[in-house]
Structure 1
Amino acid sequence: MAAAPALRELQRDIETQASALSKVQKDIAKNHQVRKQYTIQLGENELVLKELDILSEGANVYKLIGPVLLKQDLAEARANVRKRIEYISAELKRLDGTLKDLEGKQNSKQEAVLKVQQRIQALQTGKSKS
């Protein structure tokens, strides 16, 4: 009969572990979503930079600010786009590091859940034999 309280304790433990695992999985999904947005922005900005590089030095470049198109210097436009590309690339690198950490946490949480499941199974098997 001492197995019943131990079993309840293990079930509470597995619920806690599963909840923590679920949270980490949600964080991973969120990271993937943000990374996807940054990847799209990076592609768009690289395309803009290619287009700006094609232009001759005297070309007119306009920047959309709200509902208004403002004339912008070509060199300034190129510099702004390059800065944006640097920023996005740095964010992607940061997100990759965060993702590796989250995947490590996910693996450890999965192992913890598996160990508790094995303990529950062993306890139930031992209980049914007696």
Structure 2
Amino acid sequence: MASPAALQARLQAASTEFQKIQTELATVVEARQKLEAQQSENELVKKEFAQLTDENTVYKLIGPVLVKQDQVEAKQNVETRLDFIKSEINRVEGQLKELGEKSEKKKSELVEIQAALQQVAAPAVA
């Protein structure tokens, strides 16, 4: 059986790793939320573009200046952006799944170490 000091060191290391995973998970969740906001915004632009006629003029904001842009090009840009955002969301979803699994494994490890520590400490108390 492992010594209380060794178990305590393992518990500390596992706890630190678990916190690191949780921080990374929060960062990835935030990235996913930003991507969803961008996707929503671009979907709205796509809907607006669908209502345009050939006579409508499209402008693009570049810095503080509005520059006339070809309607077809603008629509293609939005489609390309949406495709990119969708692929990024899929990538981030994969990261979320992976981190969730890592988190669960680390949580189980922490519970096992705590149980072992309690077993080592129990005879000392009695």
Give the TM-score range, shorter chain. Answer: over 0.9
Aligned alpha-carbon RMSD (Å): 1.2
What do residues 74-96 of structure 1 show as CA deviations (whole Å, max 9, x unaligned)? 11000000000000111001000
Alpha-carbon separation, structure 2, partners of 1:48 and 1:37: 17
The answer to whether the aligner puts 1:86 opposite 2:83 as a matched pair is: yes
Aligned equivalent of 2:21: 24
Aligned equivalent of 1:44: 41
1:3-22 paired onto structure 2 within 5 Å: 6-22=3-19
Partner SS for 1:11: helix
What do residues 58-86 of structure 1 show as CA deviations (whole Å, max 9, x unaligned)? 21000001111110011100000000000
Partner SS for 1:84: helix
1:50-69 paired onto structure 2 within 5 Å: 50-69=47-66
Alpha-carbon separation, structure 2, partners of 1:88 and 1:58: 30
Aligned residue pairs, count: 126
The normalised TM-score by structure 1 is 0.94
Alpha-carbon separation, structure 1, partners of 2:101 and 2:54: 50
Partner SS for 2:3: helix
Ranges in structure 2 where 5+ consecutive residues have no aligned partner: none
Q: How many Å apart are 1:57 and its aligned residue?
A: 1.6
Aligned equivalent of 2:94: 97
What do residues 76-123 of structure 1 show as CA deviations (whole Å, max 9, x unaligned)? 000000000000111001000000000000000001111000000000
Partner SS for 2:53: coil
The normalised TM-score by structure 2 is 0.97
Partner SS for 1:17: helix
Q: How many Å apart are 1:128 and its aligned residue?
A: 2.0
Amino acid paired to 1:47: L
Alpha-carbon separation, structure 1, partners of 2:74 and 2:50: 10
